[in-house]
Amino acid sequence: MSILKERVDYKHLEEELHQALREDELYQLQNDAKIRAVEQRVPTYNHFREMVNGAHLKPLEKNDVKNKIPIPLNSFANRPEEWSLDSTIVKNTELEIPLPKTEENLPKSIPKDRKEFMSRWKIIVDPNSKFEYLVNTREDLGRIFLTEVPQEFFEEVIDLCLSQLSNEKIKDMIDVFSIFSRCNRFQLTLIFLTNEKKKVLNQLLQEIISAGINECKELKEKYEIIFK
């Protein structure tokens, strides 16, 4: 069936719109925090990162504290004497605890947004599996990170690709880095990389470019700031 005749999923489009608006709002808050941090000349990069990561947090109002319901220090002290953990009710009650997500039971579907992508990304521990996940979702990376490629995530990708660098994986890495370079505000992500990560990325890109693949010329232009 032609894609033009497929039914439009307006609910999904609305969810994507709200997600994009939330991400854009977060970007504006973090961008303002970055500017304030530079103007205030924060002493270390950790201070800078804390200001940026906490940009969306709001201070508590007085009413927020006053309206809190007091909790007794010992909630068990006022229970009847006959109550105990060995009661029949407790014995006959089965607690339904959801199984923790692992690499084995991760869903195989393409993540619908950045939040879902990152939740799966954090679960995967094995570097080979992590790189495979990145490559398998590359066709959707441009959509998932359209608003912005988070700096910390991109630094993880740099370290991962350096550890996975091999001739058979270079083409996949070129695809991934090229897709990221076309995302909005990507140059800002490069600017705020730590000096250490810039050196690592420079080393990685030099290795990739030395392979002499046609796409390397475009890659070098997109990452020109790293080679300065």
Cβ neighbours around 42 below 10 Å, total: 15
Of 52, 57, 27, residue with least CA distance to 42: 52
Same domain, 186 and 116: yes
Q: Is the residue at 191 inside a domain?
A: yes
Same domain, 133 and 30: no
Domain containing residue 23: 9-55
Same domain, 129 and 222: yes
> Cα(51)–Cα(74) distance, rounded to whole angstroms?
37
Cβ within 8 Å of residue 219, ≥6 positions away: 174, 177, 178, 181, 205, 208, 209
Q: Is the residue at 80 inside a domain?
A: no
Burial of 204 (0-12, 13-18, 19+ CB in 10 A): buried
Q: Is the residue at 45 inside a domain?
A: yes
> Cα(203)–Cα(49) distance, rounded to whole angstroms?
24
Same domain, 115 and 51: no
Count of domains for the chain: 2
Contact 175, 140 (CB under 8 A): no
According to DSSP, residue 72 is labeled: -
Which ranges in the chain belong to alpha helices (H)? 10-40, 45-53, 62-66, 88-91, 114-123, 127-136, 138-144, 151-164, 170-181, 186-191, 195-209, 216-222
CA-based torsion, 10, 56, 113, 139: positive or negative: positive
pLDDT tens series, the chain, 228 aa: 455 566 767 777 778 778 878 887 887 877 777 777 777 776 676 666 777 777 766 655 556 555 555 555 554 455 555 544 444 444 444 444 444 456 666 777 888 999 999 999 999 999 999 999 999 999 999 999 999 999 999 999 999 999 999 999 999 999 999 999 999 999 999 999 999 999 999 999 999 988 877 778 888 888 998 987
Q: Read off the pTM.
A: 0.56
Q: Is the residue at 79 inside a domain?
A: no
